[in-house]
Amino acid sequence: MKNVFITSALVCMAALGAALLGVSPVAAQSTTFTFQGFLNEGAAPANGKYDFHFRLFTAATGGVQTGTMLCSDDVDVVNGVFTTQLDFGQQYATPIERHLEIEVRRDSGASCADLNGFIVMDPRQLLTATPKAIHANSAFALDGADGSPLSAVYVDDAGKVGIGTTSPATLLHLQGAGPALVLQDTNAATSQAGYLSYRNNLSTETAWVGFGTAGSPHFSIVNARSGGNISLEAVTITSTGSVGIGTASPASTLDVRGDIRLGSSGQYQAASGEEKLRILRGRISSSGAVSTGSGFTASRTAAGLYVITFTTAFAGAPAVTLSPSVGATGGPFNAHTNGISTVAAGIRIMNGSGTNIDDAFDFIAIGPR
């Protein structure tokens, strides 16, 4: 096989195929590019068929080869000019330079797989961007599909990403007049579970917001961080389930710092006290039976003597108020407490002469919970 001695340097130009071939911006762009070079054989422009090997390196000398070697067989060279298409795959998604190394031999009928007779051209050729690819060469922003707006997606020097802004203030900054973020789960309604997950440095989920259970209609806000609360402006929900309104540190299951209104139109106001109190009220008949009320039992132990037993004991002895009625005696009588504890209250009914008599009475017991 006759070897060809190439004496002149190779001058070449490379252009990314996406720019030259007019690939639609909404389609996946090809990694093929068209390469054109000029070849001298001796002192004169080369003519005829030649075989070429092409390799990509990360530096003008030395460096690391990226991708596989490409072979162009039986390439026509006319007055020194040759053209071929190359596709190394996606080797350009990096700011690191790419240098093309070329080997050439005059065609002898052997295939490119035969490595004999190839001569390495020097120097390697730096692949530079075409005018349409200059913006992509630095790849710090993405424009709209039709070219407007410019820099619709932008990455700054700190790695912060802006969508709709070129001055991202956080790792991800969304700016626009409409909804900033849409989460759409395209599964069937029975299996939809769209939510935002918050994780710590160990990728352990510490909180989430949304529909965390597949198919559930309930929207949840969960703070899984130890001791963490959920704070909604003036409303705080602690990790133990206590709710504070007007306070970030609720002291009870429901702690409201302010007035409370009740009723269909807010026409009622809640009673208040300095203590945590519980109220019982009822009416006891002359025989010791409970006529009205709940949360207690009653009994008559002797003439004019009654005992009210609280179903749930008070935390401390309650205050008991009695209201006697005009009974069978036809005259006024007196009602007195006859010993009060956290679990019971004794009652004594007397007539005007101080004699015990049986008659009905009302009572109210108010004591600490």
DSSP 330-350: SS-EEEEEEEE-SSEEEEEEE
Whether residue 191 is found in the same domain as residue 231: no
Q: What is the CATH number of the domain that holds 349?
A: 2.60.40.2080
Which pLDDT does position 330 carry in this prediction? 54
39 closest CA partner among 106, 116, 86, 109: 106
Q: Is residue 1 part of a domain?
A: no
Q: Is residue 69 part of a domain?
A: yes
Which pLDDT does position 23 carry in this prediction? 34
Structure tokens at 267: 């026409």
Q: Are the beta carbons of 74 and 34 closer than 8 angstroms?
A: no
Whether residue 188 is found in the same domain as residue 232: no
Which pLDDT does position 17 carry in this prediction? 31
Which pLDDT does position 327 carry in this prediction? 54
Which pLDDT does position 195 carry in this prediction? 86
Whether residue 109 is found in the same domain as residue 204: no
Which pLDDT does position 136 carry in this prediction? 56
Q: Is residue 6 part of a domain?
A: no
Whether residue 117 is found in the same domain as residue 58: yes
User: Which neighbouring-strand residues pair with 281?
Assistant: 364
| pTM greater than the 0.85 cutoff | no
Low-confidence ranges of the chain (pLDDT < 70): 1-29, 93-95, 129-139, 326-332
- How many CB atoms lie under 10 A from the CB of residue 154? 19
Query: Which domain range does residue 165 map to?
Result: 140-174
- For the chain, the straight-line distance linking the first and the last C-alpha, in angstroms and rounded, comes to 108
Structure tokens at 330: 């036809």
Which pLDDT does position 178 carry in this prediction? 81
Structure tokens at 190: 């029975």
Q: Is residue 264 part of a domain?
A: yes
Which pLDDT does position 318 carry in this prediction? 97
The total of structural domains in the chain comes to: 5
Whether residue 217 is found in the same domain as residue 233: no
Query: Per 3-state DSSP, what percentage of the chain is helix, strand, and coil (rounded to 5)?
Result: 5, 40, 55
366 closest CA partner among 279, 264, 241, 282: 279
DSSP secondary structure letter of residue 28: P
Whether residue 95 is found in the same domain as residue 150: no
User: Which neighbouring-strand residues pair with 321?
Assistant: 364
In terms of Cβ atoms closer than 10 Å to its own Cβ (0-12, 13-18, 19+), residue 235 is middle
Torsion angle, alpha carbons of 181, 186, 190, 192, to 10: -30
Structure tokens at 224: 């899984």
Sheet (strand 254-256) strand order: 230-232, 235-237, 243-245, 254-256
For residues 154 and 171, give the distance between their C-alpha atoms in angstroms, rounded to a whole number. 11
Torsion angle, alpha carbons of 172, 173, 175, 178, to 10: 40
Contacts of 329 (CB under 8 A, 6+ apart): 351, 357, 359
Whether residue 266 is found in the same domain as residue 241: yes
